[in-house]
Chain A
Amino acid sequence: MKPDPGRFLEIAAQQLMGTIGPALPAGYAQSSVGLLAVMLLEVKTELERAAARRVEENRGLRGLFAESLPLVTDAALRDRLDAAARGEDESLLASALERGNAALRGLLIELHAHVETLDSPEARRVEDAIWAELAASTERRRLALGPF
């Protein structure tokens, strides 16, 4: 599809910032247009990586769940982790990947809370792996204009 959707958003943002915004009186409307331009640029970033970051993360979470199974003492949680670990993304539409990602991250919260209650070197290893995944997940979602 040409023009590329990302390029389209970039040009739209440039026009908002360079032409349309300055033509408005200073104040609420002009500032809103500036913010809208910023949002379009961040949408461009998200558009580009939407499927990739979710597929990568979903794959990583399933691997983490599989790795943690021998450690989990709660049978019901173990069954759900096992089922999730064996699952796969059935569609590459961003909305479908997002639903799958939300389910996996909800399960990650349960696994994390469970592992925190266990006292063994293996539990600490899995806990470290969970923290590493959480740090990586914020990097995947990072936006250029975020303040930190």
Chain B
Amino acid sequence: MAVQLTARQLGWLKGALFVLALLPLARMVVLTVTGQLVEPLEFITRGTGDWTLYLLTVTLAITPLRRLTGWNWLVKLRRMAGLYVFFYGLLHFLTFLWFDHFFDVQEMWKDVLKRPFITVGFIAFVLLIPLAVTSTNGMMRRMGGKAWQRLHQLIYLIAPLAVLHFWWMKAGKHLLGQPILFAGIFGGLLLFRLRGKFAKAAKLA
């Protein structure tokens, strides 16, 4: 059954999601400020990375979920979800620049170029920037729907890079449960989309 939402209801939902997505950050801040963490810098570095992946999952799940349920309003939540991916990704990058290198950009570059797991993470983050910048209605209009969509398909490159970054980070200790889970989810969501495309192509033929 297709659930319809009024503009007002959608507004509330957006507001609620906006606050909800800030809670992980709030938790990190509170635990740090109240001195409950032995090593807050590690906790924040990992936490911001984890939440980038969680929110990326949410963002990528919106279109399949919309197709499955017919809840078209879900697409109106996608921009915020995507921007939160960028937000936590940016925080994650800043923790790396701050905690690991204390803002020594030259040292940071060395690390980025030397270590594959950082290289792929860095590329994934950089690729998020144009998506965040072009997320406004104005940019969408200026670019035109087709070009905008093509640009935003970068997410299908970003998601595997992010998983690879996580995978390589965990590989040293063979803790691959979570990376495999994310790879599975992203792979599944991608397959769902491809299937939809093929079905459309078949119909046209």
Q: Do A and B come from the same complex?
A: no
Chain B positions near chain A (C-beta within 8 angstroms) = none
